[in-house]
Amino acid sequence: MRHFPSCQVLNIRDNLYMVDCGEGAQVQFRRMRLKFSRLNHIFISHLHGDHCFGLPGLLSTMALHGITGSVTVHTFQEGVEQFKRFMDFFCPVTPFELRFNAILPEQGIVYEDNGITVSTIPLSHRVPATGFLFAEKQKLRHIVPEAVSRWCVPHHFMNSLRQGADFVTPEGLTIPNAELTKAPDPSHSYAYCSDTSYSKRVIKAVEGVDWLYHESTYAEDNAPLARKRGHSTAREAATVAHEAGVRHLILGHYSKRYHDNSILLKEAQDIFPNTMLSDEGRIFDLNKE
């Protein structure tokens, strides 16, 4: 077995968000020296074992480590029932509050905080399945120190400035925000789409995202099998990326029949050059590229 089952962790300003939790997720999580204490949300795309069988072990280990606060598992109602019952038996007491949030594939926003929204992406698989779109909210504008000194903007107004307000001087003169601030850092978006066959609805949902992870279980040699089993070829993943106008594409969820995944990369890059292969432990810096 070359690959672990599916699990990804997004680090957004030191908050960790896990997407899918295949068997062995806790092992990889610790190998990569990630901190359990920063993990408060786990999103499950669908209820196949290779996407969620690591959940009981991960949660039990977090309990053993004395993690406090709360951990919320976002999954379909049937998954809530299965995992709740399983955990109630095997790990009835956790130092953190274990919450389950029942979601629907077509729900839209399933989670929101000050910095991000997480929305569902309806996928097309053999069982109900959803992708997740992580979108950073617009960030605060940067203060231009010389400009705010020149106009004597009071300290208590800085937050309003960062949010885009114009400043009115005591004399009644309006200073446009653009004179006092610079544009905020860009807000990134990341879409996770696995497992799914090629789908126009997915294209619509991921339109213009910065980073798209799209499964590519098979190469073109197995296109009929991909369709039959609700999966995609690398070429189909690249077509989604191209048609949705995303900036970067990451492939993954490779069938074990490919001993060298470079065939998948090549087939995808023919259509969408800015494609990369995910792999165990590989880190992508969404700010850098």
Interacting residue ranges for a copy of itself, rule: CB under 8 A = 1, 4-5, 23-24, 26-27, 30-31, 47-50, 53-54, 56-57, 60, 78, 82, 85-86, 89-91
Q: What is the sign of the dihedral through the CA atoms of 200, 195, 9 and 101? A: positive
Smallest gap from Cβ 155 to a copy of itself, in A, equals: 48
Element (H, E) at 282: none
232-242 per-residue burial string, b: 16 or more CB within 10 A, e: under 16 = bbbbbbbbbbb
**Least distance (Å) from a copy of itself to the CB of residue 61?**
8
Least gap, CB of 237 to a copy of itself (angstroms): 23
- In angstroms, what is the minimal distance from the CB of 30 to a copy of itself? 5
> CB-wise, 78 or 289, nearer to a copy of itself?
78
Q: Which is nearer to a copy of itself, 78 or 113 (CB)?
A: 78
What's the CA angle centered on 12, arms 285 and 54, to 5 degrees?
90
Q: How far apart are CA 217 and CA 213, in angstroms?
A: 12
What is the CA 186 to chain-centroid distance, rounded? 17
**Opening angle at CA 76, ends 74 and 81, nearest 5:** 95
Q: Residue 102 phi/psi, 5° resolution? A: -75, 120
Q: Which is nearer to a copy of itself, 61 or 177 (CB)?
A: 61
Give the whole-angstrom CA distance, residue 45 versus residue 74: 9
Cβ distance 94 to 56 under 8 Å?
no
Paired tokens of 33: 């020296």
> Which residue type does 101 have?
N
Q: How far is the CB of 282 from a copy of itself (least distance, A)?
A: 18
The encoded tokens of residue 242 equal 């191209």
Q: Which is nearer to a copy of itself, 1 or 283 (CB)?
A: 1
Length of the chain: 289
Which of these is catalytic: 50, 88, 195, 221?
A: 50
SS3 28: helix
- Cβ–Cβ under 8 Å, residues 178 and 160: no
Closest distance to a copy of itself from the beta carbon of 229 (Å): 11
User: Please, which residue, 85 or 201, has the CB nearer to a copy of itself?
Assistant: 85
d(CA 70, CA 279): 29
**Is 279 considered catalytic here?**
no
Comparing CA positions, the residue from 30, 19, 16 lying closest to residue 278 is 19
**Which is nearer to a copy of itself, 98 or 180 (by Cβ)?**
98
Q: Which residues belong to the active site?
A: 50
